[in-house]
Amino acid sequence: MSIDFSMENIKKCLCMRCPVQMESQCVKDKEKIMILMTQQDLDSPMRMDEERVPGLYCSTGKAICKDINTHQICRCNECSVWMGNRLDKKETSKYFCINGKAK
Ligand code: SF4
Ligand code: SF4
């Protein structure tokens, strides 16, 4: 089972509002680029390649940004992608930014 890397799921993902990432400069920089891209028409998921998106780790695997604070609380269990895909039933059900994609 794999989670779609789609604009729909990027919008639902809570990683960018998660305390684990809140203070990360690397995440803030990626977020700025994403906002610029979406403002310029780029609805195209083609332009939103995985490395540019600081989230949806259940689909893409571990975070590229290394300045995240993994002592904070993961918000995956509040997310509709998580609920829709029954990620609570997976071997690893949270902290996909550290543990890698959902399997
Ligand atoms: S996977 Fe969980 S801990 Fe990691 S950024 Fe997303 S919501 Fe936060
Ligand atoms: S389950 Fe976690 S990593 Fe996956 S979309 Fe939701 S908040 Fe993001």
Within the chain, how many helices (H) and strands (E) appear? 5, 0
Is residue 40's pLDDT more than 90? no
Q: What is the pTM of this model?
A: 0.92
Distance between CA atoms of residues 30 and 70, nearest Å: 18
Q: Considering the domain boundaries, does residue 1 fall inside one? A: no
Quick check: CB of 27 below 6 Å from ligand 1?
no
Q: How confident is the model at residue 39 (pLDDT cuts 50, 70, 90)?
A: confident
**Index of the ligand 2 atom closest to the CA of residue 12:** 5
Give the range of the structural domain holding residue 80, as residue numbers without chain letter. 7-99
Is 20's C-beta closer than 6 angstroms to any atom of ligand 2?
A: no
Return the pLDDT at 41: 62
- Whether 2 is covered by a domain: the verdict is no
Residue 42 has pLDDT above 60, yes or no: no
Nearest to 94 by CA among 9, 39, 11, 81: 81
For residue 42, the CA-to-ligand 2 centroid distance in Å is: 22
Q: How many domains does the chain have?
A: 1
Which of the four pLDDT bands, split at 50, 70 and 90, describes residue 90? confident
Residue 13 within a domain: yes
